[in-house]
Chain A
């Protein structure tokens, strides 16, 4: 299935690994900014990895392809951050959750719903937005334009 000339499939060559590649963080966040949440799907074991990377740690496989993931999923676990990192002090308390997308891929993100109104199994959907001032303050120079992902109630 892999094609050495296709930048959305691994194995990758050294020259494939540019900031445009979806297998790198700049490429992943550029795609998220354009509306696509990308995972690397392992062609050997089926695992979906967010963000994409050139190898599957579950099985060791290096044949993967990048695939946009569904934005909807359910809460697997959740909590509320009451003692935040300094940069986000004015935002606390905020809810964070582990969400399993409808594809089975999982990721952590903030939830725009008060803690008391969230439960395991709750349906949510992912959004991506530009960083606010406090989030920009937390960012390193190359991260400043990377979008922030969040989940909201469906």
Chain B
């Protein structure tokens, strides 16, 4: 079967008094506003969710199925730190592709602000190897800083180049009504922000975000029950792979898992990097956008940091892909388990021509999602969406 994105929705992103299930309700309300009720079409539910420590709540599959009116369907939580959302999407796609199910709800939710910065720091540290990394006292920013330090050492990139990525994504976020930060910033503001883990500064880091996103993946028959005035968006390719958990053991300047995952997704979709009009790359930290652009073949090795430049000004070997038009994790927000699905929402809007005019890429027909968990290369998931 040919899996399609039948409907999408998100909550608002940012700090809120709403709980995880409430945020999910908002995402579902949007996704199903113009179509049948979930109970009429949804055959299974996968929930991307990073950590039970924020709300002291597991059983998220059951809870969210119940909260959207479903009973006696398979429903489960999928975990892979920040890749959980795309892992949920991948399960939905595989279920529909196999013909086993007609429509599957992939959703993600995270209530990150519950424990403040310390709560998020502690919860995210669980993604790192307990034996050696956690005992060292590493944090998410410091893990990515180890990548950034080496990237700046091995390439011509500077902290100013990384700052430009944050500035570009804030400018995109300013044009996205879903974004947590709908405001622009400038390079000096980024460079003047405090170091969190040098060379990464506060404005190199995605924020702590509450939010949910929902994507209904369906076969053609079910998809036709939703708004069929829009172009059909197909999930044409998927790739996923776990590399390893310890950052020390990796190639620090080439994200091998992202290369493998995107290559597989391109092959399934029958596209090349140059065909990708829009890409949501996992800019949890600015350096990720540079690294993942290279791994995905969108940028030549060592030049991914030029992602903030207009396509015509980038080095030879770059594609013309527009990167993180949503504002990325940096500005749209990074509700961990929902992020991979928020990426799908953005590319869906781009491919259906329903993005707000100032961020809409003209004639976009192919989009890439790269979602990763556990410091760039522990697990990476890539999806290619096409019209």
Task: Enumerate chain A interface residues (CB-CB to B < 8 A).
Answer: 25, 28, 49-51, 57, 76-86, 88, 91, 94, 96-99, 106-110, 115, 120, 135, 138, 143, 146, 148-149
Over the window 100-134 of chain B, the binary record of Cβ atoms lying under 8 Å from chain A Cβ atoms (1 yes, 0 no) is 00000000000000000110011001000001111
Judge if B153 is at the interface, Cβ distance under 8 Å.
Answer: yes
The segment from B18-26, B30-38, B136-144, B305-313 that touches chain A is B136-144
Chain B residues within 8 Å of A79, by CB: 142, 145-146, 148-149, 197-200
Given known pairs A25-B131, A86-B118, the reply for A108 and B246 (CB within 8 Å) is yes
Judge if B363 is at the interface, Cβ distance under 8 Å.
Answer: no
Q: Are B137 and A83 in contact (CB under 8 A)?
A: no
Q: Are B137 and A108 in contact (CB under 8 A)?
A: no
Separation of A28 and B132 alpha carbons in the complex (Å): 11
Q: Are A107 and B195 in contact (CB under 8 A)?
A: no
B165 CB to nearest A CB, Å: 18
Chain A residues within 8 Å of B137, by CB: 81, 84-85, 88, 91, 94, 96, 110
Separation of A81 and B194 alpha carbons in the complex (Å): 12
Q: Using a Cβ–Cβ cut-off of 8 Å, how many residues does chain B contribute to the interface with A?
A: 36
Interface residue from A85, A97, A107 paired with B122 (Cβ < 8 Å): A85
Q: Which residue of A lies closest to B147 (CB)?
A: A77
Task: Enumerate chain B interface residues (CB-CB to A < 8 A).
Answer: 117-118, 121-122, 125, 131-139, 141-142, 145-150, 153, 194-200, 244, 246-249, 252
Q: Are A108 and B252 in contact (CB under 8 A)?
A: no
Chain B residues within 8 Å of A91, by CB: 137
Separation of A99 and B131 alpha carbons in the complex (Å): 16
B195 CB to nearest A CB, Å: 6
Q: Which residue of A lies closest to B119 (CB)?
A: A86
- A-B contacts, 24 listed (Cβ < 8 Å): A25-B131, A51-B132, A76-B150, A77-B153, A78-B146, A79-B148, A79-B149, A79-B199, A80-B197, A80-B198, A81-B137, A82-B197, A85-B121, A85-B125, A85-B134, A86-B118, A86-B121, A86-B122, A91-B137, A99-B248, A108-B136, A108-B247, A110-B137, A143-B135
Chain A residues within 8 Å of B249, by CB: 49, 106
Q: Are B138 and A76 in contact (CB under 8 A)?
A: no
Interface residue from B118, B135, B252 paired with A77 (Cβ < 8 Å): B252
Q: Are B138 and A96 in contact (CB under 8 A)?
A: yes
Q: Are B125 and A96 in contact (CB under 8 A)?
A: no
Top 10 nearest A-B pairs (CB, nearest first) are A79-B145, A77-B150, A106-B248, A98-B248, A77-B146, A88-B137, A79-B197, A108-B248, A77-B149, A81-B142
Given known pairs A96-B142, A107-B248, the reply for A135 and B197 (CB within 8 Å) is no
Q: Are B138 and A108 in contact (CB under 8 A)?
A: yes
Separation of A81 and B118 alpha carbons in the complex (Å): 13
Separation of A79 and B252 alpha carbons in the complex (Å): 14
Q: Are A81 and B122 in contact (CB under 8 A)?
A: no
Interface residue from B132, B138, B141, B198 paired with A50 (Cβ < 8 Å): B132
Chain B residues within 8 Å of A80, by CB: 142, 195, 197-198
Separation of A149 and B129 alpha carbons in the complex (Å): 14
Given known pairs A85-B122, A86-B121, A115-B198, the reply for A107 and B142 (CB within 8 Å) is no
Q: Are B132 and A83 in contact (CB under 8 A)?
A: no
Separation of A102 and B65 alpha carbons in the complex (Å): 53
Chain A residues within 8 Å of B248, by CB: 76, 98-99, 106-108
Q: Which residue of B lies closest to A121 (CB)?
A: B153
Separation of A60 and B18 alpha carbons in the complex (Å): 46
Q: Are B136 and A96 in contact (CB under 8 A)?
A: yes
Separation of A143 and B132 alpha carbons in the complex (Å): 12
Q: Which residue of A lies closest to B242 (CB)?
A: A57
Q: Which residue of A lies closest to B117 (CB)?
A: A83
B301 CB to nearest A CB, Å: 18
Q: Which residue of A lies closest to B252 (CB)?
A: A77
Chain B residues within 8 Å of A135, by CB: 135
Given known pairs A57-B244, A77-B147, A106-B249, the reply for A82 and B136 (CB within 8 Å) is no
Separation of A77 and B195 alpha carbons in the complex (Å): 17
Q: Are A107 and B147 in contact (CB under 8 A)?
A: no
Interface residue from B118, B136, B150 paired with A109 (Cβ < 8 Å): B136
B47 CB to nearest A CB, Å: 26
Q: Which residue of B lies closest to A92 (CB)?
A: B137
Separation of A28 and B131 alpha carbons in the complex (Å): 10
Interface residue from A51, A85, A96, A97 paired with B131 (Cβ < 8 Å): A51
Q: Which residue of B lies closest to A99 (CB)?
A: B248
Separation of A99 and B136 alpha carbons in the complex (Å): 13
